[in-house]
Amino acid sequence: MHKMDSFIKETQRCNPLDASALARLVLKPYTFSNGLHVPKGSFIFTPNSPLFEDERFYKDPKRFDGLRFARMRDDPQLQASCPLTATSESSMHFGMGRHACPGRFMVSDEVKLAMVHLLLNFDLAIQNFGPRPRNVAFGKFMLPNMQAKVWLRKSKQLVTAAPTS
């Protein structure tokens, strides 16, 4: 499952649903040490795409590499940041710190179960296979291109789970 986990996390890194993370409303004015002033009532957030394309965090960040995080698990210093559910300054899909989404573990398991079911029981094809269709912006959200056609049909050899004793 490490490879599937890696593939899903890389998909999320390259095609984040939300352009921002950790959005917050400023409750009182604040001035940073460099003089930047943030007035009360402002919205602040962390931009996802620059983080996900930062070479300090990812080697060759513009390239999709489904096994990127699976290989990173071999490095003891990077292991903890590799699972889909991990949060860090370079991976804020589920928030960070004490505000990290508590449901991320369930979501991770459900996405993997859905993927396993699809891969084992269906044949999948993309019409006019070629470069991935570009995402469509909807406000701050990036959505899959709805013009893309994905064909699904039940596999001739359905896989079922055998009872265990």
Q: What is the CATH number of the domain that holds 47?
A: 1.10.630.10
In a domain, 94, yes or no: yes
**CA 141, CA 157: separation in Å to the nearest integer?**
38
For residue 66, the model assigns a pLDDT of 96
Residue 28 is encoded by which pair of tokens?
């009182």
Q: How many helices (H) and strands (E) are present in the chain, helices listed first?
A: 4, 8
Host H or E run for residue 150: strand 150-154
**CA 2, CA 7: separation in Å to the nearest integer?**
9
Q: Which residue's entry shows tokens 């039940």? A: 154
In a domain, 159, yes or no: no
In a domain, 165, yes or no: no
In a domain, 39, yes or no: yes
Q: Cβ atoms within 10 A of the Cβ of 113, count? A: 10
In a domain, 162, yes or no: no
In a domain, 126, yes or no: yes
In a domain, 137, yes or no: yes
- Give residue-wise pLDDT tens across range 36-73: 999 999 999 888 888 889 999 899 999 999 999 999 99
Residues (pLDDT < 70) of the chain are: 129, 158-165
- The total domain count for the chain is 1
In a domain, 161, yes or no: no
Residue 45 is part of which domain span? Answer: 2-154
Reduced to 3 DSSP states, what percent helix, strand and coil does the chain have, rounded to the nearest 5? Answer: 30, 20, 50
